[in-house]
Amino acid sequence: MQRKTFLKGLIAAGALATVPLAAAAQQDPIIIGEINHYKRMAAFAEPYKMGIELAIEETNAAGGVMGRPLEFIFRDDQGEPGEAVKIAEELMTRDGAVMLTGTILSNVGLAISSFAGEKGYVYLASEPLADSLVWAAGNPYTFRLRASTFMQAAMLAEAAAKTDATRFATIAPNYAYGKDAVAAFKENLLKLKPDAEFVAEQWPALFKIDAGAEVQALERAKPDAIYNVTFGPDLAKFVRDGTDRGLFDGRDVYGLLSGEPEYLDPLGDEAPEGWTVTGFPWYDLEDGPDGAFVKAYQKRYDDYPRLGSIVGYMTVQSIVAALEKAGSTETEAIRAAFEGLEVDSAMGPITFREIDNQSTMGAYVGTTALEDGKGVMVDWEYKDGANYLPTDEEVRALRPAQ
């Protein structure tokens, strides 16, 4: 028995020796470096990761990319820009990543983007929403998947312009995303409703909101409508205090991100009714690529998807499409492939525009309501992001010369 086993080993070794080294190398995984705030923002980051893992499983089951398996290395930056940059360098130089992706917080995304532009690393910013990422601070190596603050704010401004409201107040976290979101809403609303005026602006520190004081300040301004950009625990506190003090009574409220399950679900029966919001009505998606995604996600995890889930899934779809178009894992080939890249995504066809590296991924816009003791979106519509982007001429004025 020992002799037979030994001979089989020799035969196997000889067979392996005849396999060309290049062919063996082809089976090495293609590694993507994924950086996110998995502990600090677990409610969004974990569903996002689950969406990524589902798409990786499907990709590898279908033969991988260019005959090689796809692999993500997930790293936690603790929500700190400096830590994120350190991790990005390690992923590219030590771990063999061919490109970077991820981040939720805009200040972290901007830090990685600047680093990627300096080093010449391709970075797909999956989630950070600050407009400056692809405009004022844009660079040839940074591409963004999600609909930006400008795009989603333009969708809400379009709805606001159809009402009789003229006096508007805003509340947003005091960092890049919040600043951009308010500026974009103002710009788009004033184009559509020149007589609109902004009577109050509140800028609470991120995740440190004094909701009672903010609500009182907004009430004193007597606005007709409120534009809200808070999210996460800040949103919960703002909704609770605003409801208790009657801030939302008789007023139109527009909520950026407020309809996303990550932020709406934790409110339970305290969820506001009648707000116009961007979000993700997964429970109504049955047909089309988004409906197919919802079914696949529920089958895989026995759980419902959040917005982060489909963003993660589309992140992998975008990377696979770029790699296949590039036919290479070389940085310059991947960068060139992302320019003008067309992707058949879980939200339908999207394109990464050559003018600014922004994708045309859209957003769902609807109205909040209470059903079975929890908040949902009703009367929603998917808005194509391509219809809410600045013109090429406007982008050239915003984006630095490359």
pLDDT along the chain (402 residues), means of 10: 40 40 63 96 93 98 97 97 98 98 94 98 96 95 96 97 98 92 96 98 96 97 98 95 97 96 95 97 97 98 97 98 98 98 98 98 98 96 96 91 68
> What CATH number should be reported for the domain whose range is 24-147+286-362?
3.40.50.2300
Residue 109 CB neighbours (<10 A): 29
What are residue 131's phi and psi, to 5 degrees?
Answer: -60, -35
The residue behind tokens 């007709």 is 224
Query: Does residue 85 contact residue 118 with C-beta atoms inside 8 Å?
Result: no
Residue 27 pLDDT: 82
Which segments of the chain belong to CATH 3.40.50.2300? 24-147+286-362, 150-281+364-388
Please calculate the CA angle 70-76-82 and round it to the nearest 5 degrees: 115
CA–CA dist 336, 325 (Å, integer) = 9
> How far, CA to CA in Å, does 256 sit from each of 149, 170, 175, 363, 384?
8, 11, 15, 11, 16
Residue 33 CB neighbours (<10 A): 25
CA–CA dist 388, 358 (Å, integer) = 12
List all residues 6 or more positions away from 48 whose beta carbon is below 8 Å from its beta carbon. 36, 104, 126, 127, 306, 308, 309, 311, 312
pTM across the whole model: 0.90
Taking only Cα atoms into account, the Rg of the chain, rounded to an integer number of angstroms, comes to 23
Residue 401 pLDDT: 73
* Pairing status of strand 363-371 against strand 348-351: unpaired
Residue 304 CB neighbours (<10 A): 15
CATH architecture assignment, domain 150-281+364-388: 3-Layer(aba) Sandwich (3.40)
Residue 290 pLDDT: 98
